[in-house]
Amino acid sequence: MDLSLINSLRASPVTPGAHIIDGGRRAASDAEVMQVLSPLDGQPLTTMPRGTREDADAAALSARTAFDDGRWRDMPPAGRKKVLLRWADLIEANAAELAVLGVRNNGTEIAMALKAEPMSAAGTIRYYAEAIDKLTGEITATGPANLGLVHREPVGVVGAIVPWNFPLMIGAWKLGPALAAGCSVVLKPAETASLTLIRLAELALEAGLPAGVLNVVTGEGAVVGDAIAHSMLVDVLVFTGSGATGRRLMQAAAASNLKRVYLELGGKSPNIVFADAPDLDEAAKTSVNGIFRNAGQVCIAGSRLLVQREIHDDFVARLADHLASLKTGDPLDPSTGAGAVNSLRQLEQNLSFVDEARAAGRTIVTGGTRILEETGGYYMAPTIVTGVQPQDRLAQAEVFGPVLAVLPFDTEEDAVRIANGTDYGLAAAVWTTDLSRAHRMVRRLQAGIVHVNTYGGSDMTVPLGGVKQSGNGHDKSLHAFDKYLDLKTAWFKL
């Protein structure tokens, strides 16, 4: 992106956020606003509504009414496809604005933000738009006296709660298949990254999405998210975020209408490097990017690095060499490789993990401190910690920051035991030239996605989901439709 354009957008005032309910902006009173602080400098960026339960209820009623009267659900598939494709075109046309706004709101480096946020969202919406008219039912083999038909129908109203690290990308993973299936949606963005999703909903209306089909309510999770989770008008709840919040959402579903709940709860993903990795230097470079891009704020981040003992010291040195060339700082500088931490609270949590590791006698190879404090922003030096033991909190709990725990292993059995020795199971990686070992590891690792001789980069054609306490259900791919479609059997006697 052109630097002059970035600087122009950086200096632009940001319109105060608003709820999008029943096709229009609903602003808050002065007493009901939340101040939005930019992680780039810690300064106020704008305001947005501090949503109430009444706001959430209004949005749910709007979505329910829109679904029940069929304004979107009953639109022919070709019609829904046209609207979604227009929406994708508008997202792409406004990509620069969306990317810079997102960086100012959540701190992702601009080079990653442009590709991973608006461009990814546009691609996701197109993917599901193109799938709409390929969703067909089934005819069962019942014999000459009967006819069985299996219909696929939209589930109804979807409550979607998305995180702050990649709001457009993850939001589109929910919105694309839900809207393509014919559902209506109530979307709650994270308090610290709502602005781009408000704009996304405005573009959807501009593209022709009927009023009430997509509603956005901003505010605190304990209020707005809780109201959506308890709503008797919401049929399905989808969420990406912390395990603690996921548990509360399941409890709310059980206490209300037993709505189905699909959760993606993060991970402590093992990145396993065997001595026979095809290219140790490439493995080191990819491992650095796999944990430190977006300041480590990536669900599938390779936050545990398991290195075979015979190459451990050499590989750590290679990591440090590659990390030295990764620039941390202003996310709106195109040369920056690792941007800001999303909030002061998150930064302090990250540093507490390092302090605990240091106190336990672990070695801080690089980083471990707050940097660029004079800017007022929330920046942390990328941190490599060695000597980490499998039982350490740093090896068990999700930091969600630029902190890499390095653990040695001796044998394949050791690697599997250590890798599977957490409550999580979202992602993993294996670096080896032994094809048989690669297949064994893919089968034995408890993870929803296993990379082989790479880390990250999978596209929309494959699902993303976790096992164990990393959640259930899948985003991405055609399998995502499973969350948003019901099966209905019609049985005819002929």
Which pLDDT tens digit goes with each residue over 64-115?
Answer: 999 999 999 999 999 999 999 999 999 999 999 999 999 999 999 999 999 9
Per-residue pLDDT band for 454 (boundaries 50, 70, 90) equals very high
**Amino acid at the residue 441:** M
SS3 for 235-293, per residue? Answer: CEEEEECCHHHHHHHHHHHHHCCCCEEEEECCCCCEEEECCCCCCHHHHHHHHHHHHHH
Give the model's pLDDT for residue 219. 97
Pick from 327, 328, 332, 318: nearest CA to 350: 328
- Residue 67 pLDDT: 98
Q: Is the dihedral of CA 305, 308, 310, 311 positive or negative?
A: negative
DSSP state of 118: I
Question: Which residues are annotated as catalytic?
Answer: 264
Residue 31 has pLDDT above 80, yes or no: no
Write the DSSP symbol of residue 471: B
Phi/psi for 299 (5° steps) reads: -55, -45
| Confidence tier at 1 by pLDDT (50, 70, 90) | confident
Mean pLDDT across 362-367:
98
Dump pLDDT digits (tens) for 406-432: 999 999 999 999 999 999 999 999 999
Q: Tell me the pLDDT of the chain averaged across its residues.
A: 97
Helix (H) or strand (E) holding 36: strand 33-37
> Is residue 243 a contact partner of residue 266, using CB atoms and an 8 Å limit?
yes
pLDDT grade, residue 187 (50/70/90)?
very high
Given this model, what pLDDT does residue 40 score?
98
Give, as one character, the DSSP assignment of residue 115.
I
Q: Please determine, for residue 284, whether its predicted confidence score (pLDDT) is greater than 80.
A: yes
CA distances from 173 to 157, 313, 365, 475 (A): 16, 40, 37, 6
Contact at 8 Å (CB) between 385 and 406? yes
Is 339 in contact with 193 (CB distance < 8 Å)? no
| Residue written as token pair 């959760």 | 263
How sure is the predictor about 141, in pLDDT bands with cuts at 50, 70 and 90? confident
pTM of the model: 0.97
H helix runs in 270-405, sequence order: 280-292, 312-324, 344-359, 393-396
Domains of the chain: 3-265+471-491 (3.40.605.10), 270-459 (3.40.309.10)
Strand partners, 490: 149
Query: Given pLDDT bands bounded at 50, 70 and 90, which one contains residue 321?
Result: very high
183 has a pLDDT exceeding 80: yes
